[in-house]
Structure formats: structure tokens, C-alpha cells
Structure 1
Amino acid sequence: MGKIYITGLEVDTLIGVYDWERVQTTQLLLDITLDVDLRAAMQSDDVADTVDYAKVAECIVEVGKVSTFELLEAFGSRVMDVVLENFAVASITVKIVKPNILPNAKTVAVEMSKEQV
């Protein structure tokens, strides 16, 4: 096994509980950790034998484009479900950072994980 990391992925989405948050998209920053069997790719040097992280990132950005969740937790759950459904990963951890949402804090973040069932 091994890990693939995608850090600081910029995802624009409509998210938030308050009315003022629902009038325009917010840019979230996502850190993704994928648990992946990398043994075949280590031997073959072929992208077909691993998880294409560019496609994972593209998939997550697309989830953001069509999402209208209120909570980061719900958005994160959807991101994890889509990745687990579409890519050969054993588990995923997502940290979602929402910048400049509190007047006295630079960011708020949640982190969650799911495993393949």
C-alpha cells in the first residue's frame, strides 16, 4: 500500500448555512489523502497501474460545481463517496478548509475519512 496526496486543491462551490453565503460560490481548499495499492505502478512505471491524481482532482472539482450543500461535512461526504465509487482506492481522508469565514480566524476546517466497503 501507499498514499497519494493532493494538497491545497481549490474547489469553488455553493456552501454555507447563512443567506449571505448562498448568493455566490466560495473557494474551499481541500487536502486529500488516498490509500492506494502502488505496487504495480512501482514496477511498471505506467499510469494505468495507479490512481491518476489529475483525474481525481478533476472529479472533485466537478463535485464542487454541482453541489449546494450547507455543511462542509455533507460536502466532504459526497466528495469521498464519489472518489471511492470511481477510483481504486482503499480509503480517503479529506480535509476541507474554508478561509475567511470567521472574523477572528484565518480558516475553519473539517477532516473526515471513509473506507472502501
Structure 2
Amino acid sequence: MDKIIIQGLQVKSLIGLYDWERKAKQALEIDLELVVDLHVAAKSDDVSDTIDYAALALAIEQRCLNSEFILLEALADHLIAHLLTYNGVKQVTLSITKPNILPNAKAVTVSLCREAR
């Protein structure tokens, strides 16, 4: 199956459990993989036959900016639910990385995978 992959999308979101995390939007990094049939787009060379990844990235950025989830898991699920509404998307794997959240680790990443129903 074909895939569209976006790596290292930089976003900001109000996210976290602790009071100090709730005071300002934090930097997050998102990686996503969409399973979608790209045969038509590959033949037509027409953007209308695929998913406009610039528009998709902007939609993710806006959803993150406007969200106030506590857990990365909840934000990831929210984003995946939106991505599964795109025409032809069969499966989404999405990872959110939150850097510098643990004193002895570089980052924490949560990764979810969901299929269209």
C-alpha cells in the first residue's frame, strides 16, 4: 500500500498535567504516516488526485494550537480522528514527541495507529 509520510512537523500546543505545563504552549514534534492509494495521483500528476500535504500540515498545526489536552495520547487520538476524514485514508500512524519533559530523558514520544472504519 502507498503512504504519505510527514516527519518532524513542528507545532505548539497547551499540553501537560502539571501546573507549570499549563502556563504556555509547548513545542511538540509530530511524525505521521497515512496509508492511502496513490495510483491515480502517480499517473495523473495532479494534486487534486492526492492529499495536499501543505494543507494537511496546516490543519494539524491549527488543531494543536487550539487544543488544551492534558495527555499526548488524547491529542494524538484527536488528530488521527481528523486525518481519517480525508478522502481515501485507510490508516494513520501518528507519533507526538514532547522534548525535555523528563529530567533524565531527551524526550517522550507517544505513537498511535488507527484504521478507517
TM-score bracket for the superposition, by shorter chain length: over 0.9
**Given the alignment of the two structures, is residue 81 of structure 1 paired with residue 116 of structure 2, yes or no?**
no
Amino acid at match of 1:10: Q
Shift of 1:87: 4.2
**Given the alignment of the two structures, is residue 63 of structure 1 paired with residue 71 of structure 2, yes or no?**
no
The gaps in structure 1 that reach 5 residues or longer are none
Amino acid at match of 1:77: D
- The two structures have a TM-score, normalised by structure 1, of 0.96
- The two structures have a TM-score, normalised by structure 2, of 0.96
**Given the alignment of the two structures, is residue 38 of structure 1 paired with residue 8 of structure 2, yes or no?**
no
- State, as a whole percentage, how many aligned pairs show the same letter: 47
**CA distance, structure 1, for counterparts of residue 49 and residue 22 of structure 2:** 41
**SS at structure 1 position matched to 2:51:** coil
The answer (yes or no) to whether the contact 1:36–1:51 under 8 Å persists in 2 is no
Q: CA RMSD in A?
A: 0.9
Structure 1 residues 24-83: Cα deviation after superposition (integer angstroms, max 9, x where no partner): 001100000000110001110001111111111111001101100000000000000111
Q: 1:98 matched to which residue of 2?
A: 98
**Given the alignment of the two structures, is residue 116 of structure 1 paired with residue 104 of structure 2, yes or no?**
no
**SS at structure 2 position matched to 1:81:** helix
Amino acid at match of 1:75: L
**CA distance, structure 2, for counterparts of residue 112 and residue 30 of structure 1:** 11
Shift of 1:86: 3.6
**CA distance, structure 2, for counterparts of residue 43 and residue 87 of structure 1:** 18
**CA distance, structure 2, for counterparts of residue 51 and residue 115 of structure 1:** 17
Would you identify which runs of 4 or more consecutive aligned residues in structure 1 move more than 6 Å? none
**Given the alignment of the two structures, is residue 54 of structure 1 paired with residue 54 of structure 2, yes or no?**
yes
**CA distance, structure 1, for counterparts of residue 13 and residue 56 of structure 2:** 17
